[in-house]
Structure 1
Amino acid sequence: MTVELDHMIVPARDRKAAAELLAFILGVPWAESGVGPFCPVFVNEGLTLDFDQADGHFPVQHYCFRVSESEFDDILARIRDRGIEYRSTPHGPVDMQINTQHGGRIVYWNEPDGHVWEILTVSYARQP
């Protein structure tokens, strides 16, 4: 059997708003409720992000999605349409630039709870 990541829990102060925003940006389906108290975002056939309500302190996480060139263009257009600030580095200043240093294109943005989201077209973690 191949090991695959099936789902992850993403803490959020407003799980519905956070799930809806990410689903819109990625262009994927979501639901206001799922199994348990979660708002699921159906990233693909094998991965669901379950947004969970978190009222106290929680760690900021980093989530990266590898996408095709055309998906990158579509996602970046939705980010721009929503007026979401983005950057070319994970923790640097907002520069509204695309990183091309790793053989593809990369963009990072934060959502209201502080999590760092990343889209890339070529994985720098999996070099040929």
Structure 2
Amino acid sequence: MSISFNHTIIAAKDRAESAKFFRTLFEVPEAPSWGPFTNVQLPDGVLLQFAEPPVEIQMQHYAFLVDDELFDRAYRRLCDTGVEHWADPQMTRPGETNTGHGGRGVYFKDPAGHAFEMITRPYL
């Protein structure tokens, strides 16, 4: 059997709020949820499980590859809703996007404070 990525748990202050932020931004429909998880199913089958851990949340980095059309719509939503964003991971270029690796990219934080990255071309 080949290997593929199946799921990950993303710590959230409010699991429903974080899942809704993700679904709305990336135009992903609701998925069945259970137990302590509010789930988001990506089109490739990967399951993102938002959960509220009983510990302080440490920032994590999650990067998502999207097509140019979704990037345009999602970036417009970031701007329209006032989500602070940067062209670089060091957060020194606020309100900008980048054109690294032959595509476009942007960094922003989700409601739990995780660093999200949206890119239109893979780095490799």
Q: Deviations over 1:2-35 (max 9, x none)?
A: 311111100011001111111101110124x613
Partner of 2:8: 8
Q: How far off is 1:117 after superposition?
A: 0.5
Residue type of the alignment partner of 1:17:
E
1:122 alignment partner, SS class: coil
- 1:37-116 to 2 correspondence within 5 Å? 37-93=36-92, 95-116=94-115
State the TM-score, normalized to the length of structure 1. 0.88
Partner of 1:30: 30
Residue type of the alignment partner of 2:21:
L
Aligned length: 124
Identity %: 35
Residue type of the alignment partner of 2:48:
L
Unaligned regions of 5+ residues in structure 2, if any?
none
Which structure has more relative contact order (CA 8 Å, sep 6+)? It is 2
Partner of 1:20: 20
Question: Where has structure 1 moved over 6 Å in runs of 4 or more?
Answer: none
Q: Is the 8 A contact 1:13 1:55 kept in 2?
A: no
State the TM-score, normalized to the length of structure 2. 0.91
Q: Distance in 1 between matches of 2:36 and 2:96?
A: 37
1:102 alignment partner, SS class: helix
Q: Is the 8 A contact 1:12 1:18 kept in 2?
A: yes
Unaligned regions of 5+ residues in structure 1, if any?
none
Pairwise CA RMSD of aligned residues? 1.5
Q: Is the 8 A contact 2:17 2:111 kept in 1?
A: no
